[in-house]
A and B are shown apart, each in its own frame.
Chain A
Amino acid sequence: DTGVSQNPRHKITKRGQNVTFRCDPISEHNRLYWYRQTLGQGPEFLTYFQNEAQLEKSRLLSDRFSAERPKGSFSTLEIQRTEQGDSAMYLCASSLDEFTGSHQPQHFGDGTRLSIL
């Protein structure tokens, strides 16, 4: 179990630029979540994948944000035309299915910290 891996750890970019983050979940985990955490706050849900299907998106995910999980393995989160308000920690989490009815905990990565200049 190598854990959830996120890259890069830190991204600094100028306002208006596009950025892309990558998340590699634990290999057997079907479910993948993206959260955003601003300074001094708890994480907020952005979107959720079951295998390659994006099944839920938060209102926080404006049209500048897009997430993919093309083969049901790694996922990318892209932010276009970045704004100052996008500065945050972006967290990825993965878990197993819960079809058996038993709760499967989410395992978090270290996050990608985005700083907009």
Chain B
Amino acid sequence: AQTVTQSQPEMSVQEAETVTLSCTYDTSESDYYLFWYKQPPSRQMILVIRQEAYKQQNATENRFSVNFQKAAKSFSLKISDSQLGDAAMYFCAYSMVLGGEYGNKLVFGAGTILRVKS
């Protein structure tokens, strides 16, 4: 079974600084997706960034980038120029690549609370 581990229950960052959130995962599959989701307090979970395992290039989305180390099964999220609005719970998630009628259920880590200090 696939598992996702986030070893940092809580992280803090000063506004405008950079912070890195860690994630490791375990799978026997060679192709899969990895995600970082953001869940602000009492608000919807939203997708921040996605990485396809067969792509060696690390994904970037504006201030968000990942460091994907496939051999080490590591997938960290770097947030640059942190803003107050980045404060939220961040979840690392995994999904298999399945075709046809098979759904792509997400396997989530326990989450990391990110606090942004002004």
Contacts and interface: CB of A to CB of B under 8 A. Distances in A.
Contacts of A31: 103
A91 interface: yes
Interface string B21-55: 00000000000010000000011111100101000
B108 A43 contact: yes
Interface stretch (B11-19, B63-71, B78-86, B94-102): B94-102
Interface of B: 4, 6, 33, 42-47, 50, 52, 91, 93, 95, 97-111
Interface size class of A (residues with CB under 8 A): 20 to 34
A48 B102 CA distance: 9
Contacts of A35: 106
Contact of A45 (B4, B6, B50, B106): B106
A50 interface: yes
B44 A103 contact: no
Interface stretch (A65-73, A75-83, A106-114): A106-114
Nearest to B105: A45
B101 A42 contact: no
B104 to A, nearest CB: 7
Interface of A: 3-4, 31, 33, 35, 40-45, 48, 50, 53, 55-56, 91, 93, 95, 98-99, 101, 103-106, 108-110
A103 B101 contact: no
Contact of B103 (A33, A40, A108): A33
* Residue with the highest number of chain B CB atoms closer than 10 Å, among A33, A41, A43, A48: A43
B52 A103 contact: yes
Given A42-B91, A103-B52, A55 B110 contact: no
Contact of A40 (B50, B102, B106, B110): B110
Contact of A98 (B45, B99, B105, B108): B99
Contacts of A104: 104
Contacts of B93: 42
